[in-house]
Structures are given as structure tokens and as C-alpha cells.
Structure 1
Amino acid sequence: MNGVELRPGVFRSQFNLRYSDVQAQGLLSLTAFLDYLQQTAGDHTESLGFGYREQRSQGAFWVLSRLSAEVSRWPEWPQTVQVDTWARGHKGLLALRDYALSQQGQVLARVSSAWVMLKNKRPQRPEAWTNIYQLVTPEPPLEELPPSLSMPEHRPEDWAQNLCYHSRSIDANWNDMDMNAHVNNRISVGWCLAAHRSDFLNAHHIQRLDVNFIGEVFGDQTYNLCWEAPVPSDDLVWNYALFPTGQADPVLRARITWRANRS
């Protein structure tokens, strides 16, 4: 376990950006960013005596349902960053967790997330599981509750048949899966970048990310990534959806607000 309790209810992990954590421009990659969040949340839970092994022994585990992130600046290799996290409370079946990614005291990214506790594959009331945390709100959340996303209007059968405006096929393989035998959330969100050419990605960075994790994503399956370019073209808010091949319901929806890099 890496990290310490910074103050009551707030847990901090520190990360040295590795060569494998950055993208072509030397900035922290989207998948590594999500990995840092996931690792810090896991270490926080581990520090309270209810980590992965304890959860599995009870047939229980946390599942990420929604996430919103706003990034003011992406850190560069080989810098060091800190990720703070805290459990904020719950709303219905969703347990709320926030994060702040910072460097030398400056907050670079703020994140709000919502999780579901599954026990024997059934959703549980979060009150029974969040009592291990000291619920705090050290700063206003980015979102009280990350938004539920909807895709632009299309017939579901069109999406399932890969007839959306833009699409590509993605194969999930064994290396994409985590210990819960699902494709990890950092991988499935990272697939959204496959909608873009390298010249677009080299010229832009993510300012805002909203994701809904709707269904399970498994290995050894083929998925259709569908997306719509914004209209007008100078608008940089893109919508994405991930569908199991031949199915009408997505397992993931995402919305990314891109910003052009400064020249």
C-alpha cells in the first residue's frame, strides 16, 4: 500500500511519473491518470482494513458507475504529483468519492465519482459499506453527482449495427482484464481515443471528461466504438459510446471536452 492519511478522512498517494505513464508529448496519459485515481482509492480502502481481499472474502466489490474530471493542466514527465481522495457520502445506491490531483500545492485536476457496492452481484445500500470511512467534504465537489449521459438521437438498432456516423471495431483481450475478470475502466475509457487520429491528439488535450459505466466489459469480445464529431466543427465536445457487437445497449458512454494546445 502506498499513501498516508493527510488529515481526518483525506488520504494521499504520491506518484512519480514514469516513462510508461506519459503519452507522445510527455504528458500524463489518460489511462495513467485513471490508474492513479483507482490506485489511490484502493489504497485508501486498504488502509481502513477493507481492501480487495477483505471485500472478496465477503463476495463484495466496488464498481465505478460515473466519473467527472476537469483538468486545468496535465503534469509532465518526470514530475511528481499527489492524489488526494475522500469519501463524501452517498445518494441512493451511489457512494460518492472525490479526488484532487496536485503538484507542489497547486491543484491540476478535480474529480467526482460515484460507485456501487455489489455483493454476490447484487447492488447494496451504500450506508452499510461507507461507515468505515470518515465522510468529509474538504472542498466543494466538482459535481454533487456526476451527470447521467445520453447520446444524440439515433435508433438503437442503428448503433448496434455499427451504423452511427463514425465507428470502429475494438477487440478486448486477456491483457485488458483486471482481477475481477472485467476490462478495467482505465482501458475502456482509453479506447475512446481510438476515435481520433494522431494529428488531432497531438494538437489537443482533454479539459473535461464525463463517463458513465453502464454494463460489464469482458475480454475475448469485440466491441463497436461509436462517436459523433461536434457540429459546428470548431466545437470540441465529443460524444462516445461502446457497444458489444450486435447489441443495442451501450456498456459505456463518455463525453470529452477537448482544448487546442497553445502554440
Structure 2
Amino acid sequence: MTTELPYAFQYRIGSSESDYKSLYRPSALLEHMQLAADRDLARMDITVSEMLDQGLGWMLITTDLTIFRQARLEEEVSLQTWHKGNKGVMWLRDYVLTDTEGNHIAEARTSWALVDLEKRKILRPSALPFEVKSHPELSLGEPPEKVMLPSALEPQEDYRLIVRYSSTDSNGHMNNARYADVCCDALTAEELAARLTHMQISYHREIRMQEELVVERTEAMDGVIWIRGRSGADAQNIIFEAKLSLEEVVA
């Protein structure tokens, strides 16, 4: 039974969260989404440290982010999030970012899995020894679909990177939000000048510090760019797949 309102917090977008156009970076929004989810669970006495003590963790499966407009540097915004229920082993969480007048700036649907950290095994929701309050009546839609690069497309290598300290989190691997930067780094100057309207990312494997990530992308077709990350040590090991939609792509 739902007894609490969805969690929301207000903040002002800082310079470190903005890009060269003074617009809110997608990766910074994903970071705030993670923070909001942690705070939502913490108020139910499900803290990150308590989860670790239980040998449990959350694994983000897919993020489906729709951006109606990019917020700007120093703009005051409010981010609301709620758990809306489960589908099989998936935990479903939605987000809404609004301005001071309540207008929707962005919306996101995400799917997560509960994992046994030692065995690296996905667990059923019943394995969580805590109650997570849900708000299914506030759903933004169906669970996000897993991103899969169409077989007819042949992405080409764009660049490579070594996962460094600055990209990792307490789990010891590249933080989920960093993948948004990886995708944006694969865009040309002309593509970056266009407005990003939709970003979908599916996370297939974790990648750890000092490992190499090979980033591939397709050409822009009707404003859509597909991006894929592979392990530099094993070309068959897909780390993530993403689909970016731009309002206008300048040739």
C-alpha cells in the first residue's frame, strides 16, 4: 500500500554540470537520477551501505530518456522519482524533471536488477529483505525496451579509451552516468550543435578500471545515431549499446 508521496528534490544546475553551451549535460542528469533513487530508497531505510552489508547491489539494465528541452546553467529544477513495480526480475523506476513552473523538461523510464555481488547473479525481487514502496499509478509507460543495434547496420570504430579513476564508482567499474559522456564524445561538432531529444542506453557488461573500451558508431540517419561499446580485450564482449536521436543533424 502506498503511504508516501514520490521522492523529489530541488537543485540549481552548476557549472560542472553544464556543457560548452551552458546546457545541462545528459551525464549530469543521469548522475542526479542515481542520487535521487538512492535518496528515495534511503528514506525507506534501504541505504547503499545496508545493501552492501547484505551482499546486494543494483544493476541498471536500460535507461530511456526523453528530453523536451535541455535545462540551462543556474536554472532551478526539481527531479521526482518513484519505484512503479516489478516485471519479472526487473525493478522499474520512473523520473520527471520539471522547471519552477512545473513544466516537464525531461522524463525517463529505467529498469534495474537486484544482484548478488559475490556471485554476480541476478536475483528475484523476493530476495530483497526490505519493503520498497511503489507508485504504479504514476507510470510513464511501458518498461524501457532493451537497445539492440540493427543487424543491417555496421558501426565503425570512432575512438578508444582506458577506464580511469575519474569514471569509476564504489562498485569498481565505470559509473552508469559516464556512458552518456562516452556517447556524446562520439558526436561530431555539427551533431553536438543539434538538440538531443532522446537517449536510450542498455548496459550489457561492466567494465573496470584500466580496461579498454572501443567505441563504435553509425552514420546519422534521419537524426538517429547508434553507438556501441566493446571490450578492447575481447571484440565479442559488448559492454553497452545506445541510440541517440537528434532534432536536427547538419551534414
Residue of structure 2 in register with 1:4 after alignment: none
The answer to whether residue 220 in structure 2 is matched with residue 230 in structure 1 is yes
2:167 paired residue among 171, 176, 184: 176
Maintained 8 Å contact 1:95/1:130: no
Q: Cα–Cα, structure 1 residues 11 and 24, in superposed 2: closer, same or farther, change >3 Å? A: same
Q: Give the secondary structure class of the aligned counterpart of 1:90.
A: strand
Q: Name stretches of at least 5 consecutive residues in structure 1 with no aligned partner.
A: 1-6
Residue of structure 1 in register with 2:156 after alignment: 165
Residue of structure 2 in register with 1:125 after alignment: 124
The TM-score normalised by the length of structure 1 is 0.87
Q: Give the secondary structure class of the aligned counterpart of 1:77.
A: coil
| Cα distance in 1, alignment partners of residues 152 and 240 from structure 2 | 16
| Cα distance in 1, alignment partners of residues 187 and 169 from structure 2 | 26
1:257 paired residue among 232, 245, 251: 245
Measured after TM superposition, the shift of residue 9 of structure 1 is: 4.2
| Cα distance in 1, alignment partners of residues 195 and 126 from structure 2 | 38
Q: Give the secondary structure class of the aligned counterpart of 2:195.
A: strand
Deviations 1:80-125 (A, max 9, x none): 1111000001111110000100112111111110001112322111
Deviations 1:6-55 (A, max 9, x none): x8240012221111110111110011011110110011111111111000
Residue of structure 1 in register with 2:198 after alignment: 208
Maintained 8 Å contact 1:237/1:256: yes
* Range that drifts further, 74-83 or 164-173: 164-173
Maintained 8 Å contact 1:86/1:135: yes
| Cα distance in 2, alignment partners of residues 30 and 130 from structure 1 | 33
Maintained 8 Å contact 2:27/2:179: no
Measured after TM superposition, the shift of residue 196 of structure 1 is: 1.5
| Cα distance in 2, alignment partners of residues 196 and 42 from structure 1 | 31
Q: Give the secondary structure class of the aligned counterpart of 2:162.
A: strand
Superposed counterparts of 1:96-175, under 5 Å = 96-104=92-100, 105-119=102-116, 120=118, 121-129=120-128, 132-141=131-140, 143-153=141-151, 164-175=155-166
Q: Give the secondary structure class of the aligned counterpart of 2:138.
A: coil
| Cα distance in 2, alignment partners of residues 209 and 130 from structure 1 | 33
Q: Cα–Cα, structure 1 residues 79 and 130, in superposed 2: closer, same or farther, change >3 Å? A: farther
| Cα distance in 2, alignment partners of residues 44 and 22 from structure 1 | 25
Q: Name stretches of at least 5 consecutive residues in structure 2 with no aligned partner.
A: none
Maintained 8 Å contact 2:224/2:244: yes
State the AA in 2 paired with 1:36: H
Q: Percent identity?
A: 19
| Cα distance in 2, alignment partners of residues 95 and 216 from structure 1 | 19
1:248 paired residue among 231, 236, 249: 236
Maintained 8 Å contact 2:229/2:241: yes
Maintained 8 Å contact 1:89/1:130: no
Maintained 8 Å contact 1:9/1:87: no
Deviations 1:191-228 (A, max 9, x none): 01121123421x21210111111111111011110110
State the AA in 2 paired with 1:177: T
The TM-score normalised by the length of structure 2 is 0.91
